[in-house]
């Protein structure tokens, strides 16, 4: 796989393409075949041909199949990085991005680990630096996967014998430590992403929300910038599901939507409400989420980030909510 930032964009491609197809040719606007000539005369422009809708439906079905594999709770990522300051920074950054897209990491592989008992002063200093980085990874990523240590071969792996040796070392990593899923978007030679589908486990709560994009997007957009917000709202997330509940309602009827974004910084976090969608930008990562049905009839009242949890506060729009009799 390519570097992590490009990998996340690749894994998000089926979701984005389905959104583009639905906005280009909404299925709800497909008119009966007998009415097409009359509607074309009334509109003054040709109506989209039937084969376009059929092709769009076929592509959407194929993309949905790919998306279901990517978003499956049995699909996980394995990260490979050489312990060091650059890789540590990369994993901190990518931790937020993976959580935003709802991907789960089952293993972090610390590659090219130098022996700690070396008599060479330079090798000993490198080993100490790698050990400090590995300890940070263990503390940061607990408890959803494992940290695996692969030894430095003294050279680049060459041929099947070297690869077999490394594979055997990786297979012995079942003892490793547990950690929580999330890596980094840094272009490192040693940062490798492998897509796995053979392990069971839950995806993180925050982002595993199915994007059912609505065709009509309102022209006005309300923006909530966390850099200008000092208030914080917090609470526990529900279980991972297609459309998680927005959260508890306060006495004044306010609804709160919680999204887990570990490692996110308030100054690098921006929210944009556009119709029934919420655009979330965290550092170099960006995702468009469809709001749960209850929140589509609300307006954004504010947002806050606390303890790695983004909480967005919504207030019901009186014009869209049914009035009590």
Domains of the chain: 4-55 (no CATH), 76-196 (no CATH), 221-316 (2.60.40.790)
The residue ranking higher by pLDDT, 287 or 235, is: 287
Polymer length of the chain:
325
Contact 276, 299 (CB under 8 A): no
What is the β-pairing status of strands 105-113 and 221-225? Answer: unpaired
Q: What is the mean pLDDT of the chain?
A: 72
**Percentage above 70 pLDDT, the chain:** 65
Pairwise CA distance, residues 12 & 7, whole Å: 9
Categorize the per-residue pLDDT at 26 as very low, low, confident or very high, splitting at 50, 70 and 90.
Answer: confident
Contact 311, 257 (CB under 8 A): yes
Whether the pLDDT of residue 35 is over 60: the answer is no
Contact 59, 19 (CB under 8 A): no
| pLDDT, average across residues 287-308 | 89
Q: What pLDDT does residue 217 have? A: 28
pLDDT digits (tens, 9 = 90+) for 201-214: 444 443 332 222 23
| pLDDT, average across residues 157-179 | 68
Q: Which of 48-52, 60-64, 137-141, 155-159 has the highest mean pLDDT?
A: 60-64
Contact 271, 225 (CB under 8 A): yes
Categorize the per-residue pLDDT at 226 as very low, low, confident or very high, splitting at 50, 70 and 90.
Answer: very low
First to last CA, the chain: 58
pLDDT digits (tens, 9 = 90+) for 249-283: 555 678 888 988 988 989 999 999 998 899 999 98
SS (H, E, C) the chain: CCCHHHHHHHHCHHHHHHHHHHHHCCHHHCCCHHHHHHHHHHHCCCCCCHHHHHHHHHHHHHHHHHHHHHCCCCCEEEEEECCCHHHHHHHHHHHHHHHHHCCCEEEEEEEEECCCCCCCHHHHHHHHHHHHHHHHHHHHHCCCCEEEEEECCCCCCCHHHHHHHHHHHHHHHHHCECCCCCCCCCCCCCCEEEEECCCCCCCCCCCCCCCCCCCCCCCCEEEEEHHHCCCCCCCCCCCCCCCCCCCCECCCCCEEEEEECCCCCHHHEEEEEECCEEEEEECCEEEEEECCHHHHHEEEEEEEEECCEEEEEEEECCCCCCCCC
Closest CA to 260 of 75, 70, 98: 98
Pairwise CA distance, residues 299 & 233, whole Å: 16
Whether the pLDDT of residue 312 is over 80: the answer is yes
- CA distances from residue 13 to 7, 32, 266, 278, 292 in whole angstroms, order as listed: 10, 31, 27, 18, 22
Query: Can you say whether residue 84 is alpha, beta or left, with left for phi > 0 and alpha for psi between -120 and 50 degrees?
Result: left
Q: In this structure, what are the phi and psi dihedrals at residue 307, rounded to the nearest 5 degrees?
A: 55, 40
Pairwise CA distance, residues 303 & 245, whole Å: 17
Closest CA to 78 of 170, 206, 216, 212: 170
């Amino acid at each position: 796989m390519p570097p992590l930032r490009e990998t996340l964009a690749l894994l998000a491609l089926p979701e984005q393409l389905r959104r583009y197809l639905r906005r280009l040719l909404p299925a709800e606007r497909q008119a009966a075949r007998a009415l097409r000539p009359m509607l074309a005369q009334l509109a003054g422009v040709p109506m989209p041909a039937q084969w376009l809708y059929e092709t769009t439906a076929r592509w959407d079905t194929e993309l949905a199949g790919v998306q279901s594999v990517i978003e499956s709770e049995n699909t996980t990522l394995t990260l490979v990085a050489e312990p060091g300051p650059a890789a540590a920074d990369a994993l901190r950054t990518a931790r937020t991005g993976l959580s935003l897209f709802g991907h789960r990491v089952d293993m972090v592989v610390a590659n090219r680990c130098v022996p700690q008992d070396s008599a060479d002063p330079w090798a000993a200093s490198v080993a100490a630096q790698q050990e400090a980085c590995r300890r940070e990874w263990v503390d940061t990523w607990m408890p959803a996967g494992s940290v695996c240590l692969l030894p430095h071969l003294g050279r680049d792996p060459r041929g099947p014998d070297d690869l077999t040796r490394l594979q055997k070392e990786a297979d012995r990593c079942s003892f490793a430590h547990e950690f929580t899923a999330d890596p980094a978007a840094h272009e490192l030679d040693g940062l490798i992403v492998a897509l796995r589908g053979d392990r069971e486990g839950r995806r993180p709560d925050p982002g595993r929300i199915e994007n059912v994009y609505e065709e009509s997007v309102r022209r006005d957009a309300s923006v909530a910038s966390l850099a200008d917000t000092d208030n914080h709202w917090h609470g526990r997330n529900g279980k991972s599901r297609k459309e998680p509940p927005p959260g508890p309602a306060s006495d004044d009827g306010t609804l709160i939507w919680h999204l887990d974004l570990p490692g996110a910084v308030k100054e690098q976090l921006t929210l944009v409400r556009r119709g029934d969608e919420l655009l979330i930008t965290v550092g170099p990562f960006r995702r468009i989420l469809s709001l749960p049905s209850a929140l589509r009839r609300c307006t954004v009242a504010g947002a806050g980030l606390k303890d790695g949890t983004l909480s967005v506060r919504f207030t019901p729009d009186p014009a869209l909510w049914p009035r009590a009799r």
